[in-house]
Amino acid sequence: MSVVLFNGFELLDVFGPLEVLSMVPEHFAVSLVGPSVGPVTSSQGAAVLANQSQSQAAAPDIVLVPGGAGTRQLVRDTQWLRWLREWASQASLITSVCTGAALLAAAGLLNGYRATTNNHHFAWVSAFGADTAWQPGARWVHDRDRWTSAGISAGIDMTLALVGELCGSGVAENVAARMEYDWPGLPPINH
């Protein structure tokens, strides 16, 4: 999985899903893609080290785009959105957590898809992607090769469901149990 980092990303949007994936390293290799190799500052002020730069990032298999305060500027950055669209379009699966869906929508990557986002920022995010069928109140939405989740902690639920889809429900249930995470395995809104 290739995780997109940008200044002002939300820590839990990244590290909730990464905690899930760390429990099944035989199935997922993770790379952190930032503006350049090196530190990228989160909304909370903690810096995380990107191990790939956007300009040299390998073709992704699965993409994860987090939300965070930094999305407010990036939705208007046409050069960054062009990079995201061209790079992420190579992936077999594209996912987002929270307001990361605004970036996917602004880049045209949710056109013709059902999607969700953070309930508290739903009006702002859903203003992007006029061709997106926004699903208010959904914890996560799985529509073909797109997975989107509501705010922050919903990314953990979505990633557990993704693990269940790709590796089997028993694997996802085992990961949730090992994390001592109360995961009901609620069904997403599917297309």
Query: Catalytic residues, which ones?
Result: 98
Closest to 12 measured CA to CA, from 66, 64, 63, 48? 66
Reduced to 3 states, what is the DSSP secondary structure of residue 67? coil
Cβ distance 24 to 84 under 8 Å?
no
Closest CA to 179 of 16, 10, 31, 3: 16
Rg (CA), the chain: 15
Q: Report yes or no: 30 and 62 within 8 Å, Cβ to Cβ.
A: no
Separation of alpha carbons 88 and 160, rounded Å = 21
Beta-bridge mates of residue 67: none
Q: Return the residue matching tokens 């009901």.
A: 184
d(CA 122, CA 101): 10
Rounded Cα–Cα distance for residues 49 and 37 (Å) = 7
